[in-house]
Amino acid sequence: MMASTSDTTGIRIGMWIFLYSEIILFGGLFVLYAVYLYEYSELFAQGGKELNRIIGSLNTVVLLASSCTVAASITAIQRGKKGQAMACLAVSIFCGLVFVVNKYFEWGAKIHHDIYPNSATLQDGEPGLNIFFGLYYVITGLHGLHVIIGMVLLTTSLVLVHRGRITASRYAVLENSGLYWHLVDLIWIFVFPLFYLVL
């Protein structure tokens, strides 16, 4: 049964409201970051040097590429190109997996070197460093959770495209999944310079 135009509009409005709530959540965390950056600017810059800019840059490229393929999947399904839409979604999901794996190894390396909130190394050092890495783990961890949720949404969309439930005339689920994924990408565009390029 086809969804009516009013139903589709309602779904889109609901998704945008949800996205705004997510922006408020991360916006609050970014404001908190800015407050502490003002107070501990030198220590935040020191903490940023401890992060791997190569991995951070790679994750940025990966997410940007995945946003392009998500957008391409929506265009493909609108044109009735089911196989192309599925291929683009598969690439996006793979990019999300690469991001999560990179983050796992990055976190693992930091924890191995005793760099995490309230670790012995940070407790014996300056409080600004402990705050920096506390914010780093909270914000990147929360973002990583959103990446995983986005991958679940994209995988669900892929299955629905394969089963013919998402078509050229009925693609609201895919469109909303794409919007969510673009939000994940947008948030990382702010996270990357705040932590990896902080001066």
Residue 80, CA atoms < 13 Å, CB-side half-sphere: 0
pLDDT value of residue 4: 47
Domains of the chain: 5-196 (1.20.120.80)
Q: pLDDT tens across 112-153, in order?
A: 999 988 888 888 888 899 999 999 999 999 999 999 999 999
* The three-state (H, E, C) secondary structure of the chain, written as one string: CCCCHHHHHHHHHHHHHHHHHHHHHHHHHHHHHHHHHHHCHHHHHHHHHCCCHHHHHHHHHHHHHHHHHHHHHHHHHHCCCHHHHHHHHHHHHHHHHHHHHHHHHHHHHHHHCCCCCCCHHHHCCCHHHHHHHHHHHHHHHHHHHHHHHHHHHHHHHHHHHHCCCCECCECHHHHHHHHHHHHHHHHHHHHHHHHHCCC
The string of pLDDT tens digits covering residues 59-113 is: 999 999 999 999 999 999 999 999 999 999 999 999 999 999 999 999 999 999 9
